[in-house]
Amino acid sequence: MPGSPQQLIDGEIAELRRFGYTPFGDAAPDWAGMWELLRGDFATVQRARVPSYAEMGPWPQEGARIYMRRRLLADRLFEECQALYRRLHGEGINTELVEAYSLARDAYEEAVLDFGKAREMLEDVFTRTVDLVPANR
C-alpha cells in the first residue's frame, strides 16, 4: 500500500536535502555552502579533487552559481507542487486543482531538466578551466 501524501512528499524532501534543498527564506544564498553539497557531482577519475567555491576563478564561479540557481528554482517549483498536492488531498479532487497541479509538476520537471543542462554546462567549464590546472597544486 502506498504511503500517505505527506510520506511521499517527505521522501522527496529527504532526497532533495541531500543536494542542499532548504525551504525558501529571505536570506541571500550561501553559494560556498551550497557548493560544498553539490561539488561532489563533478568528481571524476581525471578530476578527483573539485575546487571549493572560493578556489574557483570568476568563470567557473559564475557557472557554479547558474547551476545552483537552477537548483534553487527547481526547489521553489517543487514547493508549489507540494502545496497543490496537499490541497488535492485536503480539498478533494477537482478538475481545476488537478490541472493546476499538472502545470506545476510540468514546470518542476522542466526545471529539473534545466538543472541537468546547467550541470553539463559547468562540466564543460571545468574541462576548460579546472582540468587544466596541474594536479599537484
User: Which pLDDT tens digits describe the chain residue by residue (137 residues)?
Assistant: 456 666 666 777 777 666 666 665 666 788 999 999 999 999 988 888 899 999 999 999 999 999 999 999 999 999 999 999 999 989 988 999 999 999 999 999 999 999 999 999 999 999 998 776 555 54
| Residue pair 73/111 in contact by the 8 Å Cβ criterion | yes
State the pLDDT at residue 131. Answer: 74
Q: In angstroms, what CA-CA distances link 74 with 22, 42, 78, 85?
A: 11, 19, 6, 16
Q: Is residue 55 part of a domain?
A: yes
State in Å, rounded, how far the first CA of the chain is from the last one.
54
Q: Is residue 123 part of a domain?
A: yes
Grid coordinates of 3: 504511503
Q: Is residue 82 part of a domain?
A: yes
State the pLDDT at residue 5. Answer: 63
Query: Which domain range does residue 99 map to?
Result: 5-15+29-132
The total domain count for the chain is: 1
Tens digit of pLDDT for each residue in 30-46? 899 999 999 999 998 88
Q: Is residue 87 part of a domain?
A: yes
Q: pTM (2 decimals)? A: 0.74
Q: Is residue 21 part of a domain?
A: no
Contacts of 67 (CB under 8 A, 6+ apart): 38, 115, 118, 119, 121, 122
Q: Is residue 22 part of a domain?
A: no
State the pLDDT at residue 1. Answer: 46
